[in-house]
Structures are given as structure tokens and as C-alpha cells.
Amino acid sequence: MVRKCLFPVAGYGTRFLPATKAMPKEMLPVVNKPLVQYGVEEASEAGMKFMGFITGRGKRAIADHFDISYELENEIRGSSKEGLILPIRKLMEENDFAYTRQNEMKGLGHAVQCGQYLMGDEPFGMILADDLCVADEGDIGVMAQMAQIHEKYGCSVVAVQEVPEDNIHKYGVIAGEEIEPGVFRVNNMVEKPAKEDAPSNLAIIGRYILTPDIFAKIEETGAGINGEIQITDALLKQAQEGNVIAYKFRGRRFDCGSIEGFVEATNYVYENIFKKA
């Protein structure tokens, strides 16, 4: 059982400036809900009830979002607006939230390392909130699917999807042997390869389950591409021991780290979720 989920949320979100000048990018709303809340709901659905956030300067709005807002709640009590706040109150009741800061931006691997004391010595999920995943109608979410894969194989799991070769340089890319339909035993991983160097067209998206030996692997991992400590490089060390599964998930994923993906997500959620609710 994976009980915890890590949310690295320290990044600057420069692609959304000026919107992200004083507001965390994870608080950008897709229709009426901040990106990070979609991530927390997905983790909670997967049975992960302890949310650990790796935050940074300027990210206090995230902690405030998952806290009681007495004045506001008092103001709307008994009004028609109260219903809008109930889902997040429920999320707060059912889950625990903890925060620690990454005070230097040294890469995603470094962010994970900052979460060692929050996650402890057990497997944990990790969600990059700017990848928004929406389940197919009637299906479970991507993290819940991955928890099942982890349960079966007992090792780290990364979610992958096929991307066009002109976009492959934006991602961590895997190669592996398909051991059941859509499930690969990973034998190679490269962070942000040039398209000629990509080992496949299977890109990692922001959903992971990591076994706790990842912390020792990160410790051994030097700076990689862009001078940053890359989680992909640390995962490669687990993969070389046969301990990483890549999983082609069901559902849709939107790259909300880009303006185009964010607008696409907004339109999709508005038409398919918000209007139907």
C-alpha cells in the first residue's frame, strides 16, 4: 500500500509570467480549481492520504489553500456558495498535509531529496501538478492505476505516453521490454534527449511511484542535463537493477506547464467535467 505522495512545487513557472509573478503556478485555476488540487484529489483517490509538498519562496498560497479560511467560511455559511467549498473541506478532513522548503533550485532529483524526511523509508507517489491527468469516464485515475502496477511488480513505476519526435526533447524518455500490454521493464532512460538520441517515443509524464532506495541513488547522482540533479538519472540506476516499470496509462494528460496545454485543459475540463457536474 502506497500511503504518501510527494508534490514538488518549488519551480518558478516563468512561462506563465506575469501571472506567476506573485502566485504559484500550481495555483493557476483550470476552470474553478487550482492545478494542485487536481493532483491532490488524484493521489487521495489512489489511497495516498499523506501529502508532502516541496515548496519554496512565494508558495505560501498552496499551504493556505489546504487550510481553513475562517473569515471566508464564516461569511458564506448558510449561503448557496457554501457548497463550493465542501469538496476541499472533505479533502482536508481525509488527508494530511506537510510542507518543507527546497531553498535552492537544483533540479527535480534535488527536490525529491528534500522530501526524504517527509516520505521516510517507504514507497511513495510523486505528482508534478502541472501535468494534469483526467481519467476516462468511469475509470480510475492515473495514480490509482500506477498503485496497482506497483502492487504487482513491487518496484518504481513511471507513467509514459507516446509523444511526437519533435517534442521528445522536453521529456525524460525510456526504453524497455514490453512485459505485458502497455507495461515495460525499463532498461534505459535519458533526460531531455535530442530527437536523434531518444531511445524511443515513450516520454515520462509527471506521475511516479518511487521506492525509498531512490534517495541513495540520488545521493550518487551528479548534475545532469542543464546542470541539474535529474530524477531520471537516479531512476536509471534503479532501472539498471531491473527495478523500474514504465506504464502507458489510460486517460488524458495535459501539459499545463505550457500555455497551449493549459488552454486545452481548460476547454476540456469546462466541456467534459464542469458543465456536466
Residues that bind ligand G1P (CB under 6 A): 108, 128, 131, 171-172, 191, 203-206, 230-232, 257
d(CA 55, CA 102): 6
CB of 230 to ligand G1P, least distance (A): 6
Q: How far is the CB of 111 from ligand G1P (least distance, A)?
A: 9
Q: Are 144 and 247 in contact (CB under 8 A)?
A: no
Minimal distance, residue 229 CB to ligand G1P, in Å = 10
CB of 142 to ligand G1P, least distance (A): 12
Rounded to the nearest whole angstrom, what is the least distance from the CB of residue 158 to ligand G1P in the complex? 8
Q: Which helix (H) or strand (E) holds 126?
A: strand 124-127
Q: Toward ligand G1P, which CB reaches closer, 135 or 231?
A: 231
Given the complex with ligand G1P, which of 111 and 147 has the nearer CB atom? 111
Q: Which residue is nearest to ligand G1P (CB)?
A: 172
| Nearer of residues 147 and 231 to ligand G1P, judged by Cβ | 231
Instruction: Say if CB 156 and CB 238 are below 8 A apart.
Output: yes
Nearer to ligand G1P, 108 or 144 (CB): 108
Q: How far apart are CA 180 and CA 233, in angstroms?
A: 25
Per the structure block, which three cell numbers stand in for 250?
489510460
Count of other CB atoms within 10 angstroms of residue 132: 25
Distance CA 213, CA 123 (A): 9
User: Is residue 143 a contact partner of residue 46, using CB atoms and an 8 Å limit?
Assistant: yes
For the bound state, the minimum distance from the C-beta of residue 266 to ligand G1P, rounded and expressed in Å, comes to: 18
Q: Which is nearer to ligand G1P, 58 or 120 (CB)?
A: 58
Where are the extended beta strands (E) located within the chain? Answer: 4-8, 29-30, 33-34, 50-55, 96-101, 124-127, 131-134, 156-162, 172-180, 183-191, 202-210, 244-248, 252-255
Q: Output DSSP code: residue 4.
A: E
Amino acid found at 53: F
Please identify, using beta-carbon distances, which residue of 41 and 255 lies nearer to ligand G1P. 255
